[in-house]
C-alpha cells in the first residue's frame, strides 16, 4: 500500500493523523538531520499500521517534508 505523508519535524507532540484514505500527517520530535526524522516516521507509521518499521519504506521524498511511503504487510 502506498500513502502520501506530510511530515512535521521538531513537533511538540508525536503522532499520526489520517487526513483521508491515502493522505496522512506525521508529527515527530526528531530533527531532520542524518535521517533521524525518517527513522522516527517509519517507527510511528509502523506502530499506527501494526507492522514492523522494517515494512515501512520511503519511496520518494527522502529529503522533503512530503513523502511517498510504501507499507508492506
Q: What pLDDT digit, counting tens, does each position of 18-56 carry?
A: 999 999 999 999 999 998 999 999 999 999 999 999 999
User: Residue 43: inside a domain, yes or no?
Assistant: yes
What is the pLDDT, as a whole number, of residue 46?
96
What mean pLDDT comes out for the span 54-73? 94
User: Residue 61: inside a domain, yes or no?
Assistant: no
User: Residue 66: inside a domain, yes or no?
Assistant: no
Report the number of distinct structural domains present in the chain: 1
Cα separation of 51 and 73, whole Å?
Answer: 7
User: Residue 28: inside a domain, yes or no?
Assistant: yes
- Model pTM score: 0.92
Q: How confident is the model at residue 11 (pLDDT cuts 50, 70, 90)?
A: very high
User: Residue 38: inside a domain, yes or no?
Assistant: yes
Which residue range is the domain that position 32 belongs to? 2-55
What is the pLDDT, as a whole number, of residue 73?
82
Amino acid at each position: 500500500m502506498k500513502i502520501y505523508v506530510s511530515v512535521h519535524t521538531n513537533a511538540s507532540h508525536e503522532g499520526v493523523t489520517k487526513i483521508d484514505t491515502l493522505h496522512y500527517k506525521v508529527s515527530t520530535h526528531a530533527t531532520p538531520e542524518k535521517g533521524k526524522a525518517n527513522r522516527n516516521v517509519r517507527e510511528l507509521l509502523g506502530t499506527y499500521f501494526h507492522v514492523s518499521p522494517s515494512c515501512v519504506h520511503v519511496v520518494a521524498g527522502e529529503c522533503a517534508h512530503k513523502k511517498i511511503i510504501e507499507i508492506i504487510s
